[in-house]
Amino acid sequence: MIPTHGAPPKDVHPNDIPLVPQPQEPFLPASSKSRLQRIVNLFPPGQFLRYLCVGGFNTIFGYSTAAGLLYLLSHYVPPRYAYLTAPAASVLSTPLNITVAYFGYKILVFKTRGNYLVEWLRTFAVYGSGMIPGLLALSAVTRFFQSALHLQHAAGYLALALIQGLTTIYSFVGHKKFSFKPAKTAPSPPIA
């Protein structure tokens, strides 16, 4: 029984309407809400967490292979062309890095079966579509770090890390929507 001010005590019943207003959703225009919901739906928590874990490994692996090649190239390329060694190292290490990433995503993240060649080629397409802008940015960022930080060889390493980090979100959406997109199944006929 809950006492009320001046009124006789009343039994609380589960069907009674609460006196405290229920919280309402924050005001969002319908078009913004649907766009926001579509963006949120792109990142299912379990799948995106697995993607980040596999992507973390891929980033370390990819950075290591590119940095190893950058180290080798820096011994053979004249210092005046040092800004080109980072993009060259990135291009040369890419096929191996994409293949390793493909198997991690296929087996651990998107968990698809079959379609190995098609999905592998699509994975190259997703990475390839981000590679051209990334390479252009990589050269520019390397030159910026060289001039701003006055570091000749370290600038390439810093630029590689920055550009690889920025491709994470882009590649997740590309792989989810294109590389490992589930095959459309025909709707089952209605049961009469």
Structural domain contains residue 129: yes
Q: What is the pTM of this model?
A: 0.59
Structural domain contains residue 89: yes
Asked if residue 40 has pLDDT above 60, the reply is: yes
pLDDT score at 14:
59
pLDDT score at 64:
95
Nearest 5°: phi and psi at 159? -65, -40
pLDDT score at 177:
86
Asked if residue 62 has pLDDT above 70, the reply is: yes
Top-confidence residue, 94 or 43: 94
Q: What is the pLDDT of residues 17-32, one digit of tens each?
A: 555 544 455 554 555 5
Structural domain contains residue 154: yes
pLDDT score at 169:
75
Burial of 60 (0-12, 13-18, 19+ CB in 10 A): exposed
By residue range, what is the domain housing residue 56? Answer: 45-179
pLDDT score at 12:
57
Minimal CA–CA distance to 101: which of 56, 132, 70, 135?
A: 56
Asked if residue 8 has pLDDT above 80, the reply is: no
Q: What is the pLDDT of residues 75-93, one digit of tens each?
A: 998 888 888 888 899 889 9
pLDDT score at 33:
63
Count of C-beta atoms within a 10 Å radius of residue 42: 14
Asked if residue 190 has pLDDT above 70, the reply is: no
Q: What is the mean pLDDT of residues 44-57?
A: 86
Give percent of the chain above pLDDT 90.
24
Asked if residue 116 has pLDDT above 80, the reply is: yes
pLDDT band at residue 16 under the 50/70/90 scheme: low
**Mean pLDDT score of the chain:** 80
- State how many domains the chain has: 1
The residue assigned the tokens 């596999």 is 54
Q: Is 24 left (phi over 0), alpha (psi -120 to 50) or beta?
A: beta
Structural domain contains residue 49: yes
